[in-house]
């Protein structure tokens, strides 16, 4: 018995070693033949997250279009692992490295300092315009415009429900599952709400926060809480399928984010807005190829094709939604519609609760001046007045959103995050 065993073992080992060595020999040859440009991508999660899938799809599309090899690292946490991933991508020959999550920023800056010959582009970050590094760049898109358009679809749906007699005008309450009380989220739900209210005047909104960008259970629970609270239509700014699934189960219409969820939610999905990163990726990669400089802070919009809506789900959407959205799109493009038109919303300054302290409002509650925290610092000091020509100029002074006003009509159920 033992003899047989040792024989088998010896044979297996010899076999394994031979194969391993022949295998290694092959790889060295392959390693020497790299001449084309490579682009590296760092993603917080993998394609199971709608947020990361949106980036991964864009990375593949842009690289295919430009004939560049894409190296994509998924499930990279927002810590030292991000720096390590960036450094490894540089080692692998990438001339440009992209990262997709807010918490990657400091580690990307660190990598940019250590590898001055490589370009580092970080989506959703805030520090590039003050950091002063030639090879570190931020990007975002004016997604509040997309949210506003999606909000119009929501408002039309509310109007339809009121007309049908399913709800009264007072019951037109929207629910919103947010991640953190961070400007990006605040800007998102406020523009969505303003879009909805532009067609359905009686609309109100409740917002709950999960304290996580990706937590399917919490997002589902949050959505269920809002539905039980009497919300008749939901939207979300969190990256899992939690809220859409909860809506489908409860039969509540949902305006999604980051991409269509119509396959999983055919009965409730209305429309979704998302950022299309392909224009930015192509712009950056081409800049590296041509030896041009990349903007430190780049904002895509409807015109660059960075802000897009998915196809409308006609089964759920109200009649005339497509036409209304199209009309508003033109208005946003030519500037006749401003999402954060200060006459469209009112604000209450509450010194006791420290709400909206940076805002100056007139007698009617309309904002006349707002000191936003554009240059990131630990004290969150306002440094720039962002009200111009009667509108809050989002994404003008920095690509990442800085709209963090709490406007009247929106109730925050919890603000601990």
Partner 1 sequence: MKENKVRKEPLIKLSRREDIDRKHSWTYRALAIVAALILDAIIIMVTVHMNPLDIYETMFMGAFGTSRKVWITLKDLSLLLLISIALTPAYKMKFWNLGGEGQVLMGAWATAFCMLYLGDKLPHGVLLLVMFLAAIVVGAIWAMIPAVFKAKWGTNETLFTLMMNYVAIQLIAYFVIKWEVPKGSGHVGIINQSTQAGWLPYIGTNSYALIVILVAIVTVGMYVYLKYSKHGYEISVVGESQRTATYVGISVDKVIIRTLFLSGAICGFAGWLMVSGSGHTITTSIAGGMGFTGIMVSWLAQFNVIVMILCSLLIVFMGHGASEIATSFGLNEAFGDILTGIIIFFIIGVEFFIHYKVHTRKSGKEVA
Q: Which residues bind partner 1 (CB under 8 A)?
A: 1, 5-6, 8-9, 12-13, 16, 19-20, 23-24, 27, 46-48, 71-75, 77-80, 84, 87-88, 91, 102-103, 105-107, 109-110, 126, 179-183, 185-186, 211-213, 373, 376-378, 380, 404, 416-417
How, if at all, do strands 254-257 and 307-309 pair? unpaired
Instruction: CB nearer to partner 1: give 263 or 377.
Output: 377
Q: What angle do CA 66, 69, 74 make, to 5 degrees?
A: 120
DSSP helix/strand/coil, 392? strand
Instruction: CB nearer to partner 1: give 286 or 376.
Output: 376
Min dist CB 297 to partner 1, Å, is: 15
Instruction: CB nearer to partner 1: give 248 or 404.
Output: 404
| Residue 333, both tokens | 């493009």
Question: E strands within 132-253?
Answer: 136-141, 173-178, 204-209, 233-236
- Report DSSP state, residue 166: S
Instruction: CB nearer to partner 1: give 179 or 271.
Output: 179
Contact 128, 122 (CB under 8 A): yes
Min dist CB 66 to partner 1, Å, is: 19
Instruction: CB nearer to partner 1: give 6 or 217.
Output: 6
Contact 372, 187 (CB under 8 A): no
Instruction: CB nearer to partner 1: give 13 or 169.
Output: 13
| Residue 112, both tokens | 């940019």
Instruction: CB nearer to partner 1: give 46 or 282.
Output: 46
Min dist CB 395 to partner 1, Å, is: 16
Contact 214, 239 (CB under 8 A): yes
Q: Per DSSP, what are the bridge partners of residue 173?
A: 204
Q: Per DSSP, what are the bridge partners of residue 369?
A: 360
Instruction: CB nearer to partner 1: give 181 or 346.
Output: 181
Give the Cα separation of 383 and 315 in Å (integer).
47
Question: E strands within 323-412?
Answer: 359-361, 367-372, 384-385, 387-388, 391-392, 410-412
DSSP helix/strand/coil, 239? coil
Min dist CB 81 to partner 1, Å, is: 8
Give the Cα separation of 380 and 387 in Å (integer).
18
Instruction: CB nearer to partner 1: give 185 or 387.
Output: 185
Min dist CB 84 to partner 1, Å, is: 5
Min dist CB 47 to partner 1, Å, is: 8
Count of C-beta atoms within a 10 Å radius of residue 269 = 25
Contact 203, 192 (CB under 8 A): no
Min dist CB 167 to partner 1, Å, is: 32
Min dist CB 78 to partner 1, Å, is: 7
Min dist CB 338 to partner 1, Å, is: 24
């Amino acid at each position: 018995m033992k003899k047989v065993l040792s024989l088998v073992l010896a044979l297996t080992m010899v076999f394994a070693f031979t194969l391993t060595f022949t295998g290694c020999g092959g790889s060295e040859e392959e390693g020497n033949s790299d001449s084309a440009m490579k682009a590296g991508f760092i993603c917080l999660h993998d394609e199971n997250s709608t947020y990361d899938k949106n980036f991964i799809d864009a990375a593949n599309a842009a690289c295919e279009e430009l004939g560049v090899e894409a190296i994509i690292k998924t499930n990279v946490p927002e810590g030292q692992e991000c720096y390590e991933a960036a450094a490894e991508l540089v080692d692998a020959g990438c001339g440009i490295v992209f990262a997709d999550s807010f918490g990657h920023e400091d580690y990307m800056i660190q990598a940019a300092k250590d590898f001055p010959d490589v370009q580092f582009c970080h989506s959703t970050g805030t520090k590039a315009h003050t950091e002063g590094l030639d090879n570190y760049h931020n990007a975002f898109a004016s997604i509040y415009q997309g949210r506003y358009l999606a909000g119009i679809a929501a408002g039309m749906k509310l109007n339809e429900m009121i007309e049908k007699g399913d709800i009264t005008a007072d019951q037109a309450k929207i629910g919103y599952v947010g991640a953190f009380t961070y400007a990006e989220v605040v800007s998102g739900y406020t523009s969505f709400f303003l879009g909805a209210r532009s067609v359905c005047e009686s609309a109100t909104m409740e917002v709950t926060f999960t304290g996580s960008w990706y937590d399917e259970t919490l997002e589902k629970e949050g959505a269920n809480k809002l539905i039980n609270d009497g919300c008749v239509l939901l939207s979300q700014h969190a990256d899992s399928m939690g809220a859409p699934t909860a809506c489908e189960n409860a039969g509540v219409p949902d305006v999604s984010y980051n991409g269509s969820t119509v396959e999983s939610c055919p009965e409730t999905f209305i429309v979704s807005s998302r950022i299309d990163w392909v224009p930015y990726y192509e712009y950056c990669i081409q800049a590296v190829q041509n030896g041009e400089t990349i903007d430190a802070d780049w904002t895509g919009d409807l015109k660059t094709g960075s802000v897009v809506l998915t196809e409308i789900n006609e089964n759920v959407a109200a009649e005339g939604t497509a036409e209304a959205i199209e009309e508003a799109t033109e208005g946003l493009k030519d500037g006749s519609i401003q999402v954060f038109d200060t006459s469209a919303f009112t604000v209450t300054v509450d010194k006791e609760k420290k709400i909206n302290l940076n805002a100056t409002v007139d007698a009617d509650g309309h904002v006349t001046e707002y000191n936003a925290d554009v240059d990131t610092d630990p004290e969150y000091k306002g440094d720039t007045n962002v009200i111009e020509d009667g509108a809050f100029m989002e994404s003008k002074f920095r690509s990442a959103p800085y709209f963090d006003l709490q406007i009247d009509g929106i109730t925050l159920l919890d603000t601990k995050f």
